[in-house]
Amino acid sequence: MTMEVHQVVPPPHKSTLQKLKARLKETFFPDDPLRQFKGQPLKRKLILGAQYVFPILQWGPKYNLKLFKSDLVSGLTIASLAIPQGISYAKLASLPPIVGLYSSFVPPLVYAVLGSSKDLAVGPVSIASLVLGSMLRQEVSPTAEPVLFLQLAFTSTLFAGLFQASLGILRLGFIIDFLSKAILIGFMAGAAIIVSLQQLKSLLGITHFSNQMGLVPVMSSVFHNIHEWSWQTILMGICFLMLLLLARHVSIRKPKLFWVSAGAPLASVIISTLLVFAIKAQNHGISVIGKLQQGINPPSWNMLLLHGSHLGLVMKTGIITGILSLTEGIAVGRTFAALRNYKVDGNKEMMAIGFMNVVGSFTSCYVTTGAFSRSAVNNNAGAKTAVSNVVMSVTVMVTLLFLMPLFQYTPNVVLGAIIVTAVIGLIDVPAACNIWRIDKFDFLVMLVAFLGVLFISVQGGLALAVGLSTFKILLQITRPKTVMLGKIPGTDIYRNLHQYKEAVRIPGFLILSIEAPINFANITYLNERTLRWIEEEEDSIKEQPSLRFLILEMSAVSAIDTSGISLFKELKTTLENKGLVLVNPLSEVIEKLKKADEANDFIRVDNLFLTVGEAVASLSSAMKGQSSTITEGLHTIVSCN
């Protein structure tokens, strides 16, 4: 059985500096954003640079009337959603309703210039509003100190924006990848329930409501104040809730009728306002928004509190709402980009969203991002470019300037119903079932996020879930899989004996594949596990020829450190008269082994092979070729190892 044997070679030499440069590039610039600039003349480079910073320069010149028609329709549609949502979400954040409208005016304009997504519709979102409100309420009461509360909200928005922009500038966008899909599904479901529970205040007409967010305190507050429940409010709430849910259902069943659910909130607001006005329901226990200020956003840079005792809270709130809104914005942007087959640059988007929030904090807006529901409507309504954001913004401006008095009689209960309808869509049961089917650990992470948000706190639940999923990654490294390989008959292919039932063991050889980088965190385990494999193998092959060689298939060992190298030295000692053979160590591994292997112990021609097949063939023939007493022959091989 002669067979050509191919050598394992280390990669070409690179200096530490070159390696560091390559590593840094892969870490921070995996998408190689400068590639398009390469080899271009200076003028073109400047244009490309300006287009990179302001994507509007890219699509603006090609803009035409046909595109505008589509954008006008979609812009008006999302405006009809944005106005009631803006008012409702601001209330969710314990802010004056008008701030929600302000936040739908300036940020969309900024995003239209800087953003690279064509579908993202910008505005306040439920989860960031909820978290902002609940975190600030820990220290300041929005009713007792409304001005201070507003100041803190704007300052948090500034910090959120700065944090988001700096993540983008420092190219640390991968941080938001740690909020995995499983975490987001659990988190959003939990947050949807928390948000809906908060709406019980307006849906039941309760005046004394819990300040806390958790399931337990809210439910206890609801049932302790049962005497405050107002049947008029409840009746009205149920009617409009049914109406909104029905509209949503229709749009889900027939996507062409997207405008039914998109227009339903505004229609509900109009109908309920007229109704209240007609029957003077505000005198019959139905609470209304009340007088709203007219006019567009006043400046708010003088309201930013950059010192004082609340600075810590404000920074924490900014970072958490910043991360949450960024995650939603990026995820929404990516989803629609994938759907319509264009690319969204994550780090670029972070800068756009961040800058938008910084500008927002100067102009009386609170945290905004690309909202999921609004963007979906936008896309459905046929938006072609960010101009639909401009249309929405102008519509909101007109509302702010002229239509604010009309909202005076809008009942709070309808706003509550609008929020509940919006967030109920965030509970994604099929996705949860799918996760359960595919990966039980991911399901556990999801459950932790869900229950954590419900029973601990929004930040606590998220932190627990992120910690758990990071722990899983570490556990995969600490306890890497080792599998025994066998030969698939009639081939030279060696595969997992457990997975491929037809694969057979080769007597005298124990072939293990290690499926993780070898480092300080797992060498103890790998050492113990390998010895156990050997002992088990020796127990099972009592009658067959005894174990001669341990072949380690290293194709899946992507990296090694100094501790990892000591594993081989230890194995070598424990294996005694058995040979230790390495197969296909990858470039980094062979390089480091070579450097460490002063005694020339591991990486000699006779114990380093390119494939398992070649190793087995070569070692078997060497054994046979030697003296008839096999043991003697073995010792020769081993001693020259």
Q: Which of positions 460-479 make contact with a second copy (CB under 8 A)?
A: 469-470, 473-479
* Interactions with a second copy, residue window 427-446 (CB under 8 A): 434-435, 437-442
Region near a second copy per CB under 8 A, out of 104-112, 367-375, 452-460, 481-489:
481-489
User: Which residue, 292 or 596, has its beta carbon nearer to a second copy?
Assistant: 596
**Per-residue mark of binding to a second copy, 4-23 (x: CB under 8 A):** x-x--xxxx---x--xx---
Q: Dihedral through CA 339, CA 343, CA 346, CA 350, nearest 10?
A: -90
How far apart are CB 19 and a second copy at their closest, in Å? Answer: 8
How far apart are CB 181 and a second copy at their closest, in Å? Answer: 5
- What is d(CA 478, CA 525) in angstroms, rounded to the nearest whole number? 7
- What is d(CA 155, CA 307) in angstroms, rounded to the nearest whole number? 10
Which of 30, 285, 295, 405 binds a second copy (CB under 8 A)? It is 30
- What is d(CA 325, CA 461) in angstroms, rounded to the nearest whole number? 16
User: Which residue, 293 or 476, has its beta carbon nearer to a second copy?
Assistant: 476
User: Which residue, 316 or 594, has its beta carbon nearer to a second copy?
Assistant: 594
Contact 82, 274 (CB under 8 A): no
How far apart are CB 3 and a second copy at their closest, in Å? Answer: 10
Region near a second copy per CB under 8 A, out of 94-102, 158-166, 321-329, 588-596:
588-596
How far apart are CB 571 and a second copy at their closest, in Å? Answer: 11
Contacts of 175 (CB under 8 A, 6+ apart): 167, 323
DSSP E strands: which ranges in 90-225? 122-123
Residue 39 in contact with a second copy, rule: CB under 8 A? no
- What is d(CA 392, CA 608) in angstroms, rounded to the nearest whole number? 67
How far apart are CB 96 and a second copy at their closest, in Å? Answer: 38
How far apart are CB 455 and a second copy at their closest, in Å? Answer: 24
User: Which residue, 307 or 501, has its beta carbon nearer to a second copy?
Assistant: 501
Which of 481, 504, 507, 621 binds a second copy (CB under 8 A)? It is 481
Contact 321, 364 (CB under 8 A): no
User: Which residue, 71 or 345, has its beta carbon nearer to a second copy?
Assistant: 345
Q: Which residue has the tokens 């300040």?
A: 211
User: Which residue, 17 or 42, has its beta carbon nearer to a second copy?
Assistant: 17
User: Which residue, 53 or 473, has its beta carbon nearer to a second copy?
Assistant: 473
Task: Let me know if 171 is exposed, middle or buried by CB neighbors in 10 A (0-12, 13-18, 19+).
Answer: middle
Residue 174 in contact with a second copy, rule: CB under 8 A? yes
How far apart are CB 478 and a second copy at their closest, in Å? Answer: 6
* Interactions with a second copy, residue window 74-133 (CB under 8 A): none
* Interactions with a second copy, residue window 527-586 (CB under 8 A): 528-529, 531-532, 535, 555-559, 561-563, 565-566, 570, 573-574, 584, 586
Residue 50 in contact with a second copy, rule: CB under 8 A? no
User: Which residue, 387 or 444, has its beta carbon nearer to a second copy?
Assistant: 444
Which of 302, 341, 628, 639 binds a second copy (CB under 8 A)? It is 341
- What is d(CA 266, CA 415) in angstroms, rounded to the nearest whole number? 10
Which ranges of 399-522 would DSSP assign to H, the alpha helix?
412-424, 429-438, 440-455, 458-478
How far apart are CB 636 and a second copy at their closest, in Å? Answer: 22
Largest Cα–Cα separation, the chain: 109
How far apart are CB 467 and a second copy at their closest, in Å? Answer: 12
Amino acid of residue 60: G
Total site size for a second copy, rule CB under 8 A: 93
How far apart are CB 502 and a second copy at their closest, in Å? Answer: 9
User: Which residue, 63 or 178, has its beta carbon nearer to a second copy?
Assistant: 178
Contact 600, 631 (CB under 8 A): no
* Torsion 173-423-197-186 (CA) sign: negative
Residue 146: CB atoms within 10 A of its CB come to 14
* Interactions with a second copy, residue window 301-340 (CB under 8 A): 338
User: Which residue, 488 or 622, has its beta carbon nearer to a second copy?
Assistant: 488
* Interactions with a second copy, residue window 603-632 (CB under 8 A): 610-611
Which phi and psi (to 5°) does residue 170 adopt?
Answer: -80, 0
User: Which residue, 377 or 590, has its beta carbon nearer to a second copy?
Assistant: 590
List the one residue out of 392, 210, 393, 364 whose CA is nearest residue 302: 364
- Coil, strand or helix: which one is 328? helix
* Interactions with a second copy, residue window 487-526 (CB under 8 A): 488, 490-491, 493, 495-496, 498-501, 515-517, 519-525
User: Which residue, 11 or 285, has its beta carbon nearer to a second copy?
Assistant: 11
Distances in whole angstroms, Cα of residue 72 to Cα of each of 6, 10, 292, 390, 394: 66, 61, 27, 9, 11
User: Which residue, 180 or 636, has its beta carbon nearer to a second copy?
Assistant: 180
How far apart are CB 18 and a second copy at their closest, in Å? Answer: 12
How far apart are CB 475 and a second copy at their closest, in Å? Answer: 7
- What is d(CA 381, CA 262) in angstroms, rounded to the nearest whole number? 9
Half-sphere exposure of 592 (CA within 13 A, CB side): 19
- Coil, strand or helix: which one is 511? strand
| CA angle, 328 then 243 then 190, to 5° | 35
Contact 314, 155 (CB under 8 A): yes
Which of 592, 612, 620, 641 binds a second copy (CB under 8 A)? It is 592
Contact 178, 466 (CB under 8 A): yes
Please give the radius of gyration of the chain, using alpha carbons only, rounded to the nearest integer.
32
User: Which residue, 38 or 227, has its beta carbon nearer to a second copy?
Assistant: 38
User: Which residue, 453 or 516, has its beta carbon nearer to a second copy?
Assistant: 516
How far apart are CB 20 and a second copy at their closest, in Å? Answer: 8
Contact 79, 395 (CB under 8 A): yes
What pairs with residue 369 in β-bridges?
123
- What is d(CA 408, CA 237) in angstroms, rounded to the nearest whole number? 18
- What is d(CA 549, CA 570) in angstroms, rounded to the nearest whole number? 16
How far apart are CB 22 and a second copy at their closest, in Å? Answer: 10
How far apart are CB 520 and a second copy at their closest, in Å? Answer: 3
Residue 406 in contact with a second copy, rule: CB under 8 A? no
- What is d(CA 104, CA 395) in angstroms, rounded to the nearest whole number? 10
